[in-house]
Structure 1
C-alpha cells in the first residue's frame, strides 16, 4: 500500500545503486547525458524505481511529480510530512481501502508509494458522516518555479550525471497509465487461504435434494453408504449453480434468509519449502450459497456460484466481499540492480500454489508466507528473486501483486516473469 513520503526541504537525498562495491559504468556519463536528453526531447519518460530519483524544486518544496493547478472550487489538501494515501483515504472517506479513489483523482502522482509534502491533493466525494474536511488551499498553491535552497542546483546536477548511467533491463515507457486491477474477482473468490489445520467453521452442507431422489428397494431403509465423493446412492455428487442444499445451521444459530455463505473444501497440509515447518492447511473456495429459508436448526440454500465441485460436507463461512486492488504499474526492477542478498534472504517466500503446481509464470496465483501480522496489504507489489550461489547477486525474475491477505499468509498473482518461477523463490517489497 502507499508508503510514507520522503522528507522535504534542503537538497534531495540520494542513494547510489551498486553491484558489490563497484559502480557500473557502461558508457561515459557525457555520452549518456546526450542520449538521455534526446530521449526526453522525444517525449519518452524513463521508468523510475522507488523512490523516484528526479526530484525538482517546485514552488516551495521538493517533489518528483508535476502537479497541475487544482480545478476551480475543488477541495484541496496540502500533503503534510508523514501522510500516506492509505491514511488520508481513511481520514476523508472513512475507509483506507478507498485509497485508489484518491489516487485516481490525482493522476499526476505516478507512484502511490511516494507523495511529497507541499503537493496539492484534490479530494472529492467525502464519505457521509466524515466530520473532517480537507482545507481549501487559499491562496492557490504557487506551482511555478522558485529559487531552490542553497546547494540544490549542484545536487541536481550531480544527480543528473549519475542518472545518465544506463541500467540494463530498465524499461522505457511512453507517458503514464492510470491504476489497473491486479487480477480478477475469480482470482480472489475462487482461490482459498492457508489456515489452521483444524480451522473452525460455523456451518456445513449436510445434504442435497439429490440424496433422496433415488428410491430405496427396501421400505423404511435409508442408505448411509458413503463413496469417495459422497453418498453412494445420490443422483448427483457435485452440486452446481441452481442446486438446492441443506445446511446444519438455522435460526437458533444466527442464520437468516438471504445470507450469502462461501463454500470451502479443506485440502492438504502446507509446509514451508525452505524450512519444512508446517504453515497450516489449504482451504479451497469452491462456491457460494444463498440461504433461501431457515428452520430452527436447519436451513435450505441454493448454490449461486460454483468455482469447483460443491460437495455435501463442504464447510461454510460468511461471505465477505473483497475488491480487486488497483495499482498504477511501474517498470520491474532493473536486472543489474538487484536487492542485496541479505535482504532477499530475509524476505518473503512463495510457499504454495493450487493443484500441486511447482513451475509458475505470469498469471499464476501463489501464496506467500507474509500476512496481516507482517503489515502486508492488498495492492502491495513484490519483486521475485532467485537466490544464487554464495558470492553471486540474486536474479530478478519478475513481480507479484498481493490480492488478498490473511493473518500469516497472503494470496498474490504473478504480474510478470522473465523466467520460470518456482515454489521457494524469494520476494522483496518493491
Structure 2
C-alpha cells in the first residue's frame, strides 16, 4: 500500500467515524462548546502563586479550556487577560451567560474586557505549567528521517575523548548550514501509526548545544555550550529549532471531530498521569493546532460472556484531558491536564463532546 493511499485511508477512518455515527458525535462536540459551571463552583477564589489559568478555570467550569469564552469580551484578542496572585476571581452572570470577573488585589472590581493591563508579564499567572513544557521542548523534536541524510556529525572529541560534555570541543564533519548555534541530537523513537503502519516521524533526543568556532576543509571545530547527556562520535548536529512557549496560550476544542491515540510517553514513564507529556498520532495534517484540547477514552476490557462464551468488548471509559502544545505534520506532543485514572499508550483521544464531561472531577 502506498503512503498516499495509507494517509487517505487513515483520514477517512478518523473523520468517517463522526459521519457514520449519524451526526451524533458532531452534535455532542458542538454542545461541548457551550460553557457550563461546576455544581460546586465557588462564588469567589483568591489566586495564589503557582496557580495556572487552567487550574483557576477548573474551579469554576466543567471544561477548564473554555476560559477564553467567559473571560474575554472580544474574540479577536489573542492573549488571555492577565491574572495575578492576590487577585480574586468571582463568578457572575451577564445576559444569562456565566462570566468571570476579577477583583484586583489592590482593590477595585474589573470585568475582564479587551483592554489588557500593562504590567510585566513575568508576574502574571501562566495558562499552564510553561516551565515543564519548555524543558520538554528543549529536549525533544520530531523530524523526517531525510533531514539526517548528509547532516553534519561528530567524528571526534577533543584530546581523543570518547565522551564529551559542556565546555569540551568537538570535531564535526559534513556540510554545515549557515549559523553559529547548533543542537546535538541522537535518533530516538520512530513513530508509526499502530492501525495502518504509516511512518509518522522520527523523534530526536537533544544531547546539548554547540557553537561553531572555525572550519578547515570539511571539518569544523565546535565548543559544547551546554549538555544534557554525554556526546559521542556519530551524534548529529542540526540548526537549533525555534521553540517559543508563549504565555498567550489559548486552549480550544478542535475545529472538527478528530480521533487518534497516544503513541508513546517520551522519557519511558510507564504510568501516565497529570502533567506528563505524551506523543499523539495526530498533527497539522489532521487540523490540530497549539492549544487544542482532546479527551482521552480508555478501551474497555474484553470479557467472556458466561452464557455464550463469546468475547465481548466493554464500553470505553472517559479518562482525562490533554492539551496539545507542539504540533508537527503527523505527530504532536500534548500535556496531560487531568486524569481520572492512569493513562496508557494506545488510549484513544478525540475532540471533546458533551458526553466527555468528567462528572465529579475534583477541583485543582
- Normalising by structure 1, report the TM-score: 0.50
Change (3 A) 1:202 1:411: same
Q: Deviations over 1:249-280 (max 9, x none)?
A: 46xx5445xx1111111235333344444434
8 Å Cα contact 1:386/1:425 also seen in 2:
yes
| Alignment of 1:243 onto 2:236 | no
Counterpart of 1:406?
A: 328
Distance 1:43 1:412 in 2: 30
Gaps of 5+ in 2: 1-25, 30-37, 46-58, 92-97, 100-111, 119-123, 302-311, 353-364
Change (3 A) 1:200 1:326: farther
Task: Report how far residue 380 of structure 1 moved.
Answer: 2.6
Task: Report how far residue 381 of structure 1 moved.
Answer: 2.6
Counterpart of 2:260?
A: 348
Change (3 A) 1:279 1:329: closer
Distance 2:220 2:41 in 1: 66
- Mapping of residues 164-313 of structure 1, within 5 Å: 179-182=127-130, 183-193=132-142, 195-196=144-145, 199-200=148-149, 202-211=151-160, 236-249=161-174, 253-256=176-179, 259-313=180-234
Q: Deviations over 1:137-164 (max 9, x none)?
A: xxxxxxxxxxxxxxxxxxxxxxxxxxxx
8 Å Cα contact 2:140/2:203 also seen in 1:
no
- Mapping of residues 374-389 of structure 1, within 5 Å: 374-388=286-300
8 Å Cα contact 1:207/1:245 also seen in 2:
yes
Match of 2:81 among 99, 104, 127: 104
Change (3 A) 1:52 1:420: closer
| Paired positions, count | 263
Task: Report how far residue 358 of structure 1 moved.
Answer: 4.5
Distance 2:322 2:65 in 1: 19
Distance 2:204 2:41 in 1: 51
| Alignment of 1:425 onto 2:343 | no
Distance 1:280 1:48 in 2: 35
Distance 1:51 1:298 in 2: 50
Task: Report how far residue 428 of structure 1 moved.
Answer: 2.2
8 Å Cα contact 1:239/1:310 also seen in 2:
yes
Distance 2:286 2:336 in 1: 20
8 Å Cα contact 1:326/1:379 also seen in 2:
no
Q: Secondary structure at the match of 2:245?
A: coil
Change (3 A) 1:318 1:65: closer
Task: Report how far residue 66 of structure 1 moved.
Answer: 7.7
Q: Deviations over 1:366-409 (max 9, x none)?
A: 21111222232333332222123678653222222323222211
Bigger CA radius of gyration: 1
Task: Report how far residue 423 of structure 1 moved.
Answer: 0.8
8 Å Cα contact 2:156/2:162 also seen in 1:
no
8 Å Cα contact 2:72/2:114 also seen in 1:
no
8 Å Cα contact 2:209/2:224 also seen in 1:
yes
Task: Report how far residue 319 of structure 1 moved.
Answer: 0.4
Q: Secondary structure at the match of 1:377?
A: coil
| Alignment of 1:122 onto 2:122 | no
Match of 1:47 among 41, 61, 64: 61
Counterpart of 1:221?
A: none
Q: Deviations over 1:74-114 (max 9, x none)?
A: xxxxx4xxx554xxxxxxxxxxxxx4xx3235999x9xxx9
Q: Deviations over 1:29-81 (max 9, x none)?
A: xxxxxx96x966x546631437969xxxxxxxxx74585xxxxxxxxxxx4xx
Task: Report how far residue 286 of structure 1 moved.
Answer: 1.6
Task: Report how far residue 419 of structure 1 moved.
Answer: 1.6
Distance 2:162 2:287 in 1: 41
8 Å Cα contact 1:325/1:403 also seen in 2:
no
| Alignment of 1:369 onto 2:281 | yes
Q: Secondary structure at the match of 1:422?
A: coil
Gaps of 5+ in 1: 1-14, 19-34, 54-62, 68-78, 86-98, 126-175, 212-235, 334-342
Distance 2:27 2:239 in 1: 50
Q: Which protein is richer in strand relative to its size?
A: 2
Task: Report how far residue 347 of structure 1 moved.
Answer: 0.9
